[in-house]
Structure 1
Amino acid sequence: MAQVEEAGMVGFSPLVRRFTFNAWMVAGFTPITRGSKLDFFIHRAGGMKGVILNLTLRGSGKIYTSKGSFQCQPGEVLLFPAGVPHHYGRDEQSEYWDHLWIYFIPRTYWLEWLQWNQCVEGIGRLVLTAPEEAEEMRSRFMEAIQLSVSDEPLAEALAMNAVEKVILECFRAQPDFRQPRIDPRIKKLCQFLNEHMTQETHIDQLARLACLSPSRLAHLFKKETGQTISAWREKQRVARACELLQKTNFAITQVALTVGYNDPLYFSRIFRHHMGVSPREYRKKQDKCSRA
């Protein structure tokens, strides 16, 4: 791994920038030195709504699970799926833990690529042993990070495409990556839900479609995606609403109907819950960025 150019990256760190996770994609650089302002442990007992990818650049991190702990070294990528507890910080034996990170709500077709071979208590681990592989991964992380704070037109879409590149490279580095990772019944069900976004569906109907009992389907869906069916579908509806607000002139009421909400006020509450702003405010923000 090349020497960290901290001076040029500090602008992407919590020392300079404030981060909010009420977004579809957030990314940054966290430089930790023993006794520094950022030298503390992150503890999220319930995990997060989205996924976190973490790439160690320098030093060592310590990750705790319910059954023990492990260290992450330079060139190692960690994957924290939605809902998986977070308890990590600088390894006491190391003076540093500098790492890049990306938080995102995954697109539907990414789910299979987020199923990694090596996991510890649900946390994926990928060690890039070749220096050139580690440096390439660093470059891909930095591309996503830089785009995540850019004001250029289509920056958000480009940032998500950069995240997709990171996910693909990680998946391609998995042993036997050509083998399916997500249960095909759940993958088929996700496609069905997206194709019938405006329709109300019931667990019994979905269970018949997947040839499973309702209770078995609920358990398997949560296991494969990290979310309940209703929570997953809600996120997909909001993601589709974001696309419509960016790419069309639809009124808010029409956007709500298009993604399956008959009540615009209820839709606005759901949207604000996920995005931190109302649909109208979100559109204004995107319009401002596109004119920049």
Structure 2
Amino acid sequence: MTEQTVNQQTVDPRIVAAARSIHRYIYGHTGAELAAASISELTDKKAVPYIVSFLRELRKQPGFSELLERWSRSTSACQVLAEQDAQKFLRDVSGIMENDREIFSHLNVACHEQREAGSWSDNHTCRPQLKSGWTLHFTRSGSGHYNCIRNRLNTGPGDILLFSPTAYLDCRRAEQSDHWDYSWVQFQADNRVSDLLSWPEVASGIFHIKIEDEHERRRITTIVNELVALEWSDDLDEVRIRAATVEHLLLRCSQQIGPENKREFDPRLQTALDFIENNLFSDLTIVSIAGAAGVSVPWITQLFKKYCGVTAMQWREEKRIALACNYLLHSQKRVSQITHELGYVNQMYFARCFKKHTGMSPSEYRKTHLH
């Protein structure tokens, strides 16, 4: 082996230290605070409270048991994680984080992320479950790929996606790009900003605008940078300052939307969406959905068509297919087990619905997208 090859295989010591700290934590050999201190050397020392919350929530994720089992095959709980496994381990850990509600339950926070091809940060993010607030993604350079179930989106500089708390968030670096540099913001939609969320919808609870003007893009970048710099303190005054900065950001974004693309949102529809979300695997009917929202069947049908572009049952179907995609990529569950858990009557019907939305069978989807 040449010296050049050895250097190419050298892993950043901070990556190795962070991976080993998480490895020790998940097997019970260190506490969250000690592990977070080591991880912050790789990320940001100011984000230690977030990292502690992340580690504690990690144990509650649906894929945690499978993560333990998978890594137990290559290294025991008492062994030190091998240097060459560090990046893959970090990608696997990031990949199982489905539910972040406890982490972001009271904050208006932002962060920059850079995903380089082949690096530890080049992970696949999938958040199919109800989130604690709204999420905004702003692509700064490179390209990201979003699976919106109804369609697929590749973003470039100036693209901004907005996700409602019930939306399916599934993203990764686009294959044709060697990197993806983006910022994300997670915030609470109080009455100060609720009227600023009327963006053009591209899928269930997913909205998109493109900032073409370079001057306006720099303005957006400046506000996002300011929000990131405000850090993660849970002090009430600091949270309120960040909320005001989020409002400034959304005002700038709202200015880019023509009046013909803005939409009003009926609160009765939100009641219906929440009802479907909370009863996703039950035997729902349009009658029960309308009853939960306190409106007639024709009225709820009209609301869904107007604001979501699909029927209530189609919206529910997209949510279930989104969860199925996540299970296929981030678990070892059999297709028959996924069929049962998602409330489908039989595997054949589930496969037919899945192919209608994704263009392939569940098995083909797993084989194609699982790396």
Q: Which TM-score bucket, shorter chain as reference?
A: 0.5 to 0.7
Q: Is 1:54 paired with 2:137?
A: yes
2:210 equivalent in structure 1: 127
8 Å CA contact 1:58, 1:74 repeated in 2 = yes
1:15 equivalent in structure 2: 43
Structure 2 matches for 1:36-115, cutoff 5 A?
36-115=119-198
Q: What is the distance in 1 between the residues matched to 2:245 and 2:40?
A: 16
Q: What is the distance in 1 between the residues matched to 2:211 and 2:246?
A: 18
Superposed CA deviations along residues 231-284 of structure 1, whole A, max 9, x for unmatched, are xxxxxxxxxxxxxxxxxxxxxxxxxxxxxxxxxxxxxxxxxxxxxxxxxxxxxx
Q: What is the distance in 2 between the residues matched to 1:66 and 1:186?
A: 21
Structure number with the bigger relative contact order (C-alpha 8 A, sep ≥ 6) is: 1
2:343 equivalent in structure 1: none
Q: Structure 2 unaligned segments of length 5 or more: list them.
A: 1-38, 55-102, 271-289, 309-371
8 Å CA contact 2:137, 2:162 repeated in 1 = yes
Deviation at 1:109, TM superposition (A): 3.9
Q: What is the distance in 1 between the residues matched to 2:191 and 2:224?
A: 21
Deviation at 1:215, TM superposition (A): 10
Superposed CA deviations along residues 113-133 of structure 1, whole A, max 9, x for unmatched, are 112024234311111111111
Higher helix share: 2
1:162 equivalent in structure 2: 245
8 Å CA contact 2:143, 2:174 repeated in 1 = yes
8 Å CA contact 1:144, 1:160 repeated in 2 = no
Higher strand share: 1
Deviation at 1:179, TM superposition (A): 5.6
8 Å CA contact 1:55, 1:75 repeated in 2 = yes
With the length of structure 1 as denominator, give the TM-score of the two structures: 0.57
Superposed CA deviations along residues 172-228 of structure 1, whole A, max 9, x for unmatched, are 2111179652238789xxxxxxxxxxxxxxx99x95xxxx459967x969x979xxx
Of 220, 230, 248, 1:147 maps to 230
Structure 2 matches for 1:154-233, cutoff 5 A?
154-176=237-259, 181-183=264-266, 207=294, 212-213=295-296
RMSD: 3.6
Between stretches 50-59 and 139-148, larger displacement belongs to 139-148
Q: Structure 1 unaligned segments of length 5 or more: list them.
A: 1-10, 188-202, 226-292
Q: What is the distance in 2 between the residues matched to 1:185 and 1:119?
A: 21
Letter in 1 for 2:119: S
Taking only the aligned residue pairs, the percentage that are identical comes to 24
Deviation at 1:105, TM superposition (A): 1.5
| SS at structure 2 position matched to 1:98 | strand
Letter in 1 for 2:253: C
Higher alpha-carbon Rg = 2
1:244 equivalent in structure 2: none
Task: Note closer, same or farther for the CA distance 1:174–1:13 as it changes in structure 2 (3 Å cut).
Answer: farther
| SS at structure 1 position matched to 2:193 | helix
Letter in 2 for 1:97: W
Deviation at 1:41, TM superposition (A): 0.7
8 Å CA contact 1:39, 1:89 repeated in 2 = yes
Q: How many residues align?
A: 195
8 Å CA contact 2:134, 2:188 repeated in 1 = yes
Task: Note closer, same or farther for the CA distance 1:73–1:83 as it changes in structure 2 (3 Å cut).
Answer: same
8 Å CA contact 2:133, 2:164 repeated in 1 = yes
| SS at structure 2 position matched to 1:166 | helix
Superposed CA deviations along residues 130-150 of structure 1, whole A, max 9, x for unmatched, are 111111101111112222436
Q: What is the distance in 1 between the residues matched to 2:166 and 2:242?
A: 23
Q: What is the distance in 1 between the residues matched to 2:196 and 2:164?
A: 12
8 Å CA contact 1:148, 1:156 repeated in 2 = no
| SS at structure 1 position matched to 2:104 | coil
Task: Note closer, same or farther for the CA distance 1:65–1:179 as it changes in structure 2 (3 Å cut).
Answer: closer
